[in-house]
């Protein structure tokens, strides 16, 4: 009998050990996600990205497409075992960038004015003063539309790295001797990855100190949101997305937006949807979830027709069925919102204040506009 | 002599069925514990495929032990299960070989080995995956545009995407699938100076060009209209020495399975035959004959 009990006892003991060590993670731990303290300069996983200090002043990074690059100080001999296109000399001096968030992160690191040489938005679409100024002075060049950039112009800019989401340009960029860094991932960035993305970009410019300061600012704002909304009485249901001509796009539950809504003591109606940012879902699901939502964040800006609830409904009659359009609140991003990644702390606070206005008396939104029922008569 | 008995006991311990049950029970518990980290932190586990297990251990594995410990335990349990399976199967094979003359035919003896062939095949598969995760070289993020080529330095070869055909959903039953890609076929040409190969690459349809295999990871555009994207394919190129082992393991496992089913079939037929024989054998008739003979 004792012989039979022995293996069972070992099994039970190990089972308890396994469960204790791996299975039990508190909510706070979950918020910590996969990123270690920024004080710790060891290996760091940031969503689909990673930063791995491999030797003194040498950092190996993995971009959103899983490609590895090694960052080494200028003048040093390239390490063995890497292809030439994997070597990036730091600090990088010339950058071309596709995404507004990438440009905003360059601003947060304090290098935008010195390094940015090319963008894929026209001058009139930019709200970041440094970019507008740079374009006026000819330091920053409009490379062409995101889907058909002018490679001759890009070559003339002589970028050392190109920050992009478009993988189709990798062969051309590598041909011109620059490194093509993919800054998006196949799944949407979670809140923590969004906050830590700066730590992925910082080693290219030796700006780890600035990255830490940025992260601390955002982290403090999250702590403040958690504390402020802890005792919120209501838990409004929030939806984020829009209906286009033939497609319905939303922010999935794994995206930073979905996580923030949950963190601010409210309910995100697409929390069960998993995948990439701006993920496509069925019209039925969108309308069903919209039946009891109270707050609706649309992707559309006033420029693309989001001037009032009535204007939205006119553009797409289906959307008129959503509860927020009948008796809830609809918010539209202001033009500078997508280019304000350097003020992520303020954006997070803004969203929390929209969800729980009673917790933030007197707060005036800086990044979103509440849509009136009707357009003012001119 | 004492040492011999000690070794015999150790051998018997490792091949005991109770040990198998304990290991499998622990694996179930471990996998249950691993469900949470695997679901919530997929980004920690996805890189194992391309960076190899050892590098993964040094980076993601050891730095996020809270989430990855279950995987290390699983690897340990799999190692124990492999030892247990090897010893157990070898013990039984030994016994079968010893009593091979008691089988009605040589063929039936060979068929009786089928479960053990499957077990050994499973071990070969495990070895293959181990070699694969320890020694595979992977080229990540290689993008091919129609009409363009990429060159690999190791092994030296050129891969050209001749053309890319994308099938879009044509039906009407699923409106949300309208204009979305459902299949892609990439026509490749591979050249290493000595050999040339033309092949069609697709999802679940990799192209082999020894010693590498090319796998389709992604392609664009995935939708017709909307945000216009350039045509390209994103491939992963693997140089995986383990594939020969796990492929042959799979082959022998299938062979073992067929042999096992064949043996079962023979057993069933034999049982039916014996039953029929018993039915036809009527002792009463003999008795009656005996009676009538009286």
pLDDT in tens, B150-171: 988 878 899 999 999 998 888 8
Interface of B with A in 90-119 (CB under 8 A): none
Number of Cβ within 10 Å of residue A112's Cβ equals: 21
Q: Distance between CA B28 and CA A11 in Å, rounded?
A: 11
Alpha helix stretches (DSSP H) within chain A = 2-18, 27-32, 100-108, 112-115, 129-137, 151-157, 170-175, 191-201, 208-229, 256-263, 283-290, 309-315, 323-327, 344-355
Residues of A in contact with B33 (CB under 8 A): 18-19, 21-23
Q: Is the ipTM of this complex over 0.85?
A: no
pLDDT at A12: 56
Q: What's the rounded mean pLDDT across residues B256-267?
A: 91
Q: Which of A298, A168, A62 shows the shortest CA–CA distance to B222?
A: A168
pLDDT at B294: 34
Residues of B in contact with A34 (CB under 8 A): 41, 43-44, 64, 67
pLDDT at A25: 43
Q: Distance between CA A168 and CA B142 in Å, rounded?
A: 10
| DSSP, res B44 | H
Residues of B in contact with A52 (CB under 8 A): 59
pLDDT at A178: 95
pLDDT at A26: 40
Residue A351 burial (10 A CB sphere; 0-12, 13-18, 19+)? buried
pLDDT at B221: 87
Number of Cβ within 10 Å of residue A378's Cβ equals: 3
**Is the CB of A19 inside 8 Å of chain B's CB atoms?**
yes
pLDDT tier at B290, thresholds 50, 70, 90:
very low
Best B14, B23, B29 residue to mutate vs chain A (most A CBs within 10 Å): B29
Q: What's the rounded mean pLDDT across residues B113-125?
A: 95
Model confidence over B67-112: pLDDT tens digits?
999 999 999 999 999 999 999 999 999 999 999 988 888 888 999 9
DSSP string, B172-186: SS-GGGTTBEEEEEE
Residues of A in contact with B153 (CB under 8 A): 83
What residues have CB less than 8 Å from A233, skipping those under 6 apart?
A: A358
pLDDT at A57: 84
Does the structure show a pLDDT above 60 at B27? yes
Best B33, B37, B47 residue to mutate vs chain A (most A CBs within 10 Å): B33
State whether A22 and B218 contact (CB < 8 Å).
no
Distance from CA of B92 to the nearest CA of A (A): 23
pLDDT at A23: 44
pLDDT at A16: 54
- Going by their DSSP bridges, the two strands A141-142 and A116-119 should be labelled as parallel
* Contact between A225 and A262 (Cβ < 8 Å): no
What residues have CB less than 8 Å from A65, skipping those under 6 apart?
A: A167, A182, B140, B141, B234
Q: Distance between CA B260 and CA B252 in Å, rounded?
A: 12
pLDDT at A5: 53
- Torsion over CA: A339, A343, A345, A346 (sign): negative
Of B60, B69, B178, the CB nearest to A45: B60
**Is the CB of B216 inside 8 Å of chain A's CB atoms?**
no
**Is the CB of A171 inside 8 Å of chain B's CB atoms?**
yes
To the nearest whole number, what is the mean pLDDT of chain B?
88
pLDDT at A204: 97
pLDDT at B207: 94
State whether B63 and A22 contact (CB < 8 Å).
no
Q: What's the rounded mean pLDDT across residues B241-254?
A: 93
The mean pLDDT values, 10 residues at a time, for chain A of 378 residues are: 53 53 43 45 89 90 93 90 89 95 96 96 94 96 89 95 94 93 91 94 96 96 93 90 87 92 90 88 90 93 88 88 92 94 95 94 94 81
**Is the CB of A378 inside 8 Å of chain B's CB atoms?**
no
Residues of B in contact with A30 (CB under 8 A): 40
pLDDT at A71: 96
E strands of chain B, at which residues? 137-144, 149-152, 157-168, 181-191, 196-201, 207-209, 212-220, 232-239
Residues of B in contact with A168 (CB under 8 A): 143, 145, 220, 229-232
**Is the CB of B59 inside 8 Å of chain A's CB atoms?**
yes
Q: What's the rounded mean pLDDT across residues B219-236?
A: 82
pLDDT at A252: 93
DSSP string, B256-268: HHHHHHHHHHHHH
pLDDT at A15: 54
Q: Distance between CA A191 and CA A217 in Å, rounded?
A: 14
**Is the CB of A67 inside 8 Å of chain B's CB atoms?**
yes
């Amino acid at each position: 009998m004792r012989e039979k009990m022995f293996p069972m006892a070992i099994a039970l003991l190990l089972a308890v050990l396994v469960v204790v060590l791996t299975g039990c993670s508190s909510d706070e731990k979950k918020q910590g996600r996969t990123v270690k303290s920024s004080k710790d300069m060891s290996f760091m996983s940031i969503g689909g990205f990673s930063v791995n200090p491999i030797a003194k002043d040498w950092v190996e990074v993995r971009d959103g497409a899983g490609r590895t690059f090694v960052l080494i100080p200028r003048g040093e001999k390239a390490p063995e075992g890497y292809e030439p296109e994997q070597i990036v000399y730091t600090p990088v001096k010339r950058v071309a960038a596709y995404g507004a968030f990438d440009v905003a992160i360059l601003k947060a690191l304090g290098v935008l004015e010195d390094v940015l040489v090319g963008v894929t938005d026209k001058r009139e679409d930019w709200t970041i003063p440094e970019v507008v100024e740079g374009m006026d002075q000819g330091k920053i060049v409009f490379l062409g539309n995101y889907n058909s950039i002018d490679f001759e112009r890009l070559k003339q800019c002589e970028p050392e790295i190109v920050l992009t989401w478009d993988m189709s340009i990798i062969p051309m960029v590598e041909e011109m001797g620059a490194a093509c860094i993919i800054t998006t991932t196949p799944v949407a960035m979670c809140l923590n990855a969004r906050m830590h993305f700066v730590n992925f970009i910082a080693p290219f410019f030796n700006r780890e100190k600035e990255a830490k300061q940025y992260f601390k600012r955002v982290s403090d704002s999250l702590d403040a949101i958690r504390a402020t909304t802890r005792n919120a009485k209501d838990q409004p249901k929030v939806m984020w997305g829009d209906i286009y001509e033939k497609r319905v796009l939303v922010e999935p539950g794994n995206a930073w937006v979905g996580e923030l809504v949950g963190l601010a003591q409210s309910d995100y109606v697409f929390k069960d949807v998993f995948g990439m940012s701006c993920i496509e879902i069925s019209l039925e699901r969108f309308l069903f979830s919209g039946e009891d939502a109270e707050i609706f964040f649309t992707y559309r800006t006033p420029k693309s027709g989001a001037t009032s609830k009535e204007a939205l409904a006119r553009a797409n009659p289906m959307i008129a069925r959503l509860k927020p359009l009948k008796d809830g609140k609809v918010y539209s991003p202001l033009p500078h919102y997508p280019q304000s990644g350097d003020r992520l702390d303020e954006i997070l606070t803004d969203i929390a204040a929209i969800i729980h206005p009673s917790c933030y008396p007197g707060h005036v939104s800086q990044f979103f506009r509440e849509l009136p029922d009707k357009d003012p008569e001119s | 002599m004492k040492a011999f008995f000690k070794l015999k006991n150790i051998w018997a311990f490792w091949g005991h069925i109770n040990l198998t049950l304990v290991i499998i029970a622990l694996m179930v518990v471990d996998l249950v514990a691993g469900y949470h980290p695997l679901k919530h932190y997929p980004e920690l586990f996805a890189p194992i495929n391309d960076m190899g297990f050892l590098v993964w251990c040094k980076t993601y594995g050891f730095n996020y032990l809270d989430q990855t410990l279950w995987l290390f335990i699983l690897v340990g349990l799999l190692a124990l299960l492999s030892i247990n399976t090897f010893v157990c199967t070898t013990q039984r094979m030994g016994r079968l070989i010893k009593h091979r003359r008691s089988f009605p035919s040589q063929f039936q003896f060979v068929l009786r080995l089928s479960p053990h062939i499957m077990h050994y095949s499973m071990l070969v598969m495990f070895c293959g995956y181990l070699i694969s995760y320890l020694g595979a070289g992977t080229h990540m993020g290689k993008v091919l545009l129609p009409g363009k080529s990429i060159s690999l330095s190791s092994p030296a070869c050129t891969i050209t995407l001749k053309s890319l055909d994308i099938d879009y959903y044509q039906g009407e039953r699923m409106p949300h699938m309208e204009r979305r890609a459902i299949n892609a076929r990439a026509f490749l040409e591979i050249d290493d100076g000595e050999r040339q190969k033309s092949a069609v690459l697709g999802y679940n349809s990799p192209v082999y060009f020894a010693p590498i295999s090319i796998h389709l990871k992604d392609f664009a555009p995935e939708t017709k209209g909307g945000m216009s994207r350039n045509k390209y394919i994103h491939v992963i190129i693997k140089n995986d020495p383990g594939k020969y082992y796990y492929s042959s393991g799979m082959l022998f496992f299938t062979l073992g399975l067929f042999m096992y089913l064949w043996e079962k079939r023979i057993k069933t037929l034999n049982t039916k035959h014996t039953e029929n024989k018993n039915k036809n054998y009527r002792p009463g008739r003999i008795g009656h004959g005996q009676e009538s003979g009286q």
